[in-house]
A and B are shown apart, each in its own frame.
Chain A
Amino acid sequence: MRTTEGPLVELVETVQSPAPMGELELQVVARAGKSFAAHQFHRGALRVLRPHYLDDSGQVCYVVVNPGGAYLGADLYVLDVEVGDGADLLLTTQSATKIYRTPESFAEQRMTVRLGEGSRLELAPDQVIAYREASYRQKTHITMRPTSSLVMAEVITPGWSPDGASFRYEELRLRNEIHVQTDGGTRLLALDNLLVRPPLDDVTGTGFMEGYSHLGSLVVADARVDQALADELHQLAEKFDAYTGISLSATMDGITALVLRSLSNSTEKLNTLLGGCSGLLRQRWYGQAPLNLRKY
């Protein structure tokens, strides 16, 4: 079945792009129960720190660094990540993604991820902060197998402006596509498209931010996702000071995506909530402790 090459996508891909400001390629493979980078390449304003092993599970942790500290207008950052069969990668960032003023332009990050059979990716970047008059587009295109496992968490703040007012940026787009690949073809499992355009609509009130300042999302795509897990994560999320919804995608080739969306009033509160949920999955599925990245 044709999915990724449809006319809609072609239109998107023909948009002219500048030469990347930063490029990163990372290919992680597993050998004897331990994951490591078999290929690593970086150019310009993106690189990774030396890998960590946070526990004895064999999961390798890479930390992406943007030495410039911020994304500027017309900057393009391209990341290409492959997690090979049976490999296990935790990918995070060193600090918040800050987008400065981007007059008449936008900063963009494009990330392509391929997950092999029985592989696992935990994607846990720091929050996105857009400054006054900033525009940012983030596109994450993930292709996984029915046996791969994906957990991704994201937090968006109201941004920053000199007068302390919220939502003074121009536009934030965060688009995640999750495709499931089998020998029979590739199908789109979930399209998670967030578009915040404060100058166009009041984003603070009913229907959008509901009076809250911060937005968090957790997406889990895994064959073990079911309604019982959604109910359990809902019970857990209700203990936090946030307004949270959880639902399940359609099931395709035996794999289901769970999406948790949460509104609250600080990055800390959302990180605690999202960390609690991903911690439950780490414990149950892998016997790992909850993530505590801030100690590194």
Chain B
Amino acid sequence: MLNTRTSIHQLALRQLTDSALPTGAFAHSLGFETYIERGVVHDEESFGVWLAAFVSQQLTYSDALAIRFLYEGVSVLELDELLTAQLLPRQVREASVKMGGRLIEIGTEVFPSEELDAYRALVSGGRAAGHQPLAFAVVARSLGVPQAEAIAAYLFATVTSLTQNAVRAIPLGQNAGQRVLRKMHDAVAAAVERTARLTPDDFGAVSPGLEISQMRHERQRARMFMS
């Protein structure tokens, strides 16, 4: 028989990380569209190289680490301020806030909690920006999702929406997209392990190439994505 508590948080987590969750993730490439424009990302393999770098670097050092610190009791206000200050490419910072705002709205309707209300009040009062990983972490924690499971689910959900976007943009075949996702299992598992070993000094460490591409996207003429 299923443990009721476990199955409830697992179903909640599935809803929260489903690519149909209307946060607007379909509108963001988080910089890979710049690589497409340069001709560096053009097929299944080259997209996989970018995605692996993105997961092991930026997603780990910013998003995943923010989720871990929130679980460990660092205040959401302090983490929100750190994310705003660290996400220097404007479009990526705005993407995080845009998707975070949607996640706070949806969470308030379907997974309400005191912690989420508190974060929402900070955002509506202008004291916090409302970042996606923090909105996710607040909800996941309130549902009793264990930390490592929450981080893995967040990373894989991001990987999934980025891959779906790449399937449309490059374009790739649907099966190629699934092969990319399967190959990312190890990268996501490695990222979860790395997140557990990082220190506060590591928070927000940038990868210059990823960052420059995200900045250059602001000036790209023909684009499908907002970031």
Contact = CB atoms under 8 A, between A and B. Distances in A.
Interface string A126-166: 00000000000100000000000000000000000000000
B201 interface: yes
B90 A261 contact: no
A175 B201 contact: yes
A208 interface: yes
Interface residues of A, number: 44
Given A11-B200, A247-B218, A194 B206 contact: yes
Contact of A210 (B61, B209, B218): B209
A269 interface: no
A177 to B, nearest CB: 8
B90 A248 contact: yes
A206 B56 contact: no
A193 B203 contact: yes
Contact of A243 (B49, B212, B219): B212
A105 interface: no
A8 B77 CA distance: 12
Interface in B54-113: 54, 56-57, 61, 69, 73-75, 77-78, 81-82, 84-86, 88-91, 93
A209 interface: yes
B-side interface size class: 35 or more
Contact of B216 (A6, A192, A245, A257): A245
B116 interface: no
Contacts of A261: 206, 208, 211-212, 215
A91 B178 CA distance: 53
A263 B202 CA distance: 22
Nearest to A207: B53
Contact of A209 (B86, B201, B205, B208): B208
Contacts of B213: 245
Contact of B82 (A188, A192, A195, A263): A188
A243 B214 CA distance: 12
Contacts, number: 125
B207 A8 contact: no
Contact of A8 (B53, B88, B203): B203
Nearest to B81: A188
A250 B88 CA distance: 8
Contacts of B127: 1
Contacts of A177: 85
B74 A208 contact: no
A247 B82 contact: no
B50 interface: yes
Given A6-B78, A9-B200, A249-B88, A244 B205 contact: no
Given A194-B206, A261-B212, A249 B57 contact: no
B57 A247 contact: no
A12 B78 contact: no
A263 B85 contact: no
B57 A207 contact: yes
A245 B200 contact: no
Contacts of A244: 212
Interface centre among B49, B82, B208 (most CB of A within 10 A): B208
A194 B205 contact: yes
15 contacts: A6-B75, A7-B74, A11-B199, A187-B81, A188-B85, A189-B85, A190-B88, A194-B208, A195-B202, A206-B35, A210-B209, A245-B211, A247-B89, A247-B215, A259-B215
